[in-house]
Amino acid sequence: MIKRVSDMQGWFARAFVAALLVLVGASFASATVLVPPGNRSVEQPGVPGASSKRTKAGGTTFEAKYRKVYALLKNDKKLRSKIVKTAGQYGIDPMHIVGAIVGEHTYNVDAYDRLQTYYVKAAAYLNADLSFQYDGEDVDDFVTRPQFADCTQSDSYGLWACRERVWDKSFRGKSVDGKAFPDNRFAAVFFQPYYAGQTFGLGQMSPLTALQMSDLVNRVSGLPRLDAGKPNQVYETIMDPDITLSYVAATLKTSIDAYRDIAGFDISQNPGITATLYNIGNPEARASALKRENDQRASNGEAPRYPEENYYGWLVNEKLPELQELF
103-120 per-position pLDDT tens digit: 999 998 766 656 677 777
Beta bridge partners of 266: 34
pLDDT of 244 strictly over 90: yes
Indicate the range of 14-23, 36-45, 220-229, 314-323 predicted with least confidence. Answer: 14-23
pLDDT of 260 strictly over 60: yes
Work out the pLDDT band at 278, boundaries 50, 70, 90. Answer: very high
User: Mean pLDDT over residues 183-194, rounded?
Assistant: 86
**pLDDT tens by residue, 47-97:** 989 888 888 888 889 999 999 999 999 999 999 999 999 999 999 999 999
DSSP-derived secondary structure for 209-249 = HHHHHHHHHHHHH-PPPP-TT-HHHHHHHHH-HHHHHHHHH
Residue 18 confidence (pLDDT): 42
Q: Is residue 234 exposed (0-12), middle (13-18) or buried (19+ Cβ within 10 Å)?
A: buried
Q: Is residue 29 exposed (0-12), middle (13-18) or buried (19+ Cβ within 10 Å)?
A: middle
Residue 31 confidence (pLDDT): 84
What pTM does this model have?
Answer: 0.85
Would residue 114 be called left, alpha or beta, if left means φ above 0 and alpha means ψ between -120 and 50 degrees?
A: beta
Residue 300 confidence (pLDDT): 96
Residue 114 confidence (pLDDT): 63
Residue 137 confidence (pLDDT): 95
Residue 22 confidence (pLDDT): 41
What is the Cα Rg of the chain in Å? 23
User: Mean pLDDT over residues 208-216, rounded?
Assistant: 97
- Of 247, 256, 241, 258, which is closest to residue 211 (Cα–Cα)? 247
* d(C-alpha 292, C-alpha 89), whole Å: 32
Average pLDDT, the chain: 87
Residue 55 confidence (pLDDT): 84
Work out the pLDDT band at 8, boundaries 50, 70, 90. Answer: very low
Residue 3 confidence (pLDDT): 42
- The most confident of the ranges 182-191, 204-213, 247-256 is 247-256
Q: Could you give phi then psi for residue 30, rounded to 5 degrees?
A: -100, 0
